[in-house]
Structure 1
Amino acid sequence: MECAIRPALRDDAAHISAVIVRALRETNAKDYTNEIIERIVRSFSPEAVRQLIGQRTVFVATICGRVVGTASLDGNFVRTVFVAPDVQARGIGKLLMAEIERTARARNVASLIVPSSVTAETFYARLGFKAVHDSYHGDERTIIMERLLEDPT
């Protein structure tokens, strides 16, 4: 199946929210307590996602018109990278990150920083991100990772 990456629309908010909630509850649950997962879930209601679409550069991945992934760029921060559990490990996250990188380069961003979940650390490392330090929000561990964007010339 062909996966397409495009800018998110406000009308995508409910679908993006559903992808994020499923990924959190089904994929991230192996690395975080239910309490942490549910706290994060509350931050990604359809209305909250609609607001994020207005504040960040948000992309969606679609297969046959179905939203199956999302990623966003906020300055030089990569945020909210999620892929629906039923289509994970098919290169969709990598396609989303390639679009984030293209957008960052077009904006002359020198490096990308991603606050990675424990679950996604290996994914980002494979894309060339290096762990810089850990960050904690209560008992929620996030790995701050960075990747320098080389000059393509």
Structure 2
Amino acid sequence: MDCVIRNAISTDAAAISEVVVAALRESNAQDYSPDIIKRVQQSFSPSAILSLLTQRQVYVASIDGHLVATGSLDRNTVRSLFVDPAHQGKGIGSRLMATIESMAAQSGVKLLRVPSSITAEGFYLALGFLKIRDEFHGVERTIIMEKVLGD
């Protein structure tokens, strides 16, 4: 079972949407209300993903040709990192983040930010990110985290 990480392409949009929606419904639903999950998942329809592909550096991880994770880099900010629930806890998210951090560093980013969900806060802490503050969008809590890249 070899995990391949690559740049996302337009034909990945539907599979990316499926991974995000599955993670939202199974993992994030433990920390967020059904209304918040429903609202957030609307931002990740296949057509919305196609739009994001033109705005960010989007990456995907696949195993045996099956897309199992996605994440993106928007200048100095990590966005939309999701791992299919069946593949969580296997190091795929960490490998995807290592790729994103490397690409950010190559682009000259010194301070990488991530607006983390409550669900992913521990994941990012384990990767060396530090909590800066909480932000609220209505009742939706997001944890703003940062990591210094390089020396």
Aligned length: 151
Identity %: 55
Residue segments in structure 1 that go unaligned for 5+ positions in a row: none
The aligned residue for residue 129 of structure 1 is 129
Cα deviation 1:1-46 (Å, max 9, x = unaligned) = 1111000001000000000000000000000000000000000000
Residue segments in structure 2 that go unaligned for 5+ positions in a row: none
How many Å separate the matches in 2 of 1:23 and 1:11?
A: 20
How many Å separate the matches in 1 of 2:71 and 2:41?
A: 16
The aligned residue for residue 84 of structure 1 is 84
The aligned residue for residue 140 of structure 1 is 140
The aligned residue for residue 25 of structure 1 is 25
RMSD: 0.5
TM-score, length-normalised on structure 2? 0.99
How many Å separate the matches in 1 of 2:63 and 2:73?
A: 21
The aligned residue for residue 53 of structure 1 is 53
How many Å separate the matches in 2 of 1:35 and 1:105?
A: 36
TM-score, length-normalised on structure 1? 0.98
Question: Does the 8 A contact of 2:105 with 2:150 survive in 1?
Answer: no
How many Å separate the matches in 1 of 2:7 and 2:95?
A: 13
How many Å separate the matches in 1 of 2:92 and 2:139?
A: 29
Ranges of 4+ aligned residues in structure 1 off by more than 3 Å: none
1:66-81 to 2 correspondences below 5 Å: 66-81=66-81
Deviation of residue 150 (structure 1)?
2.2
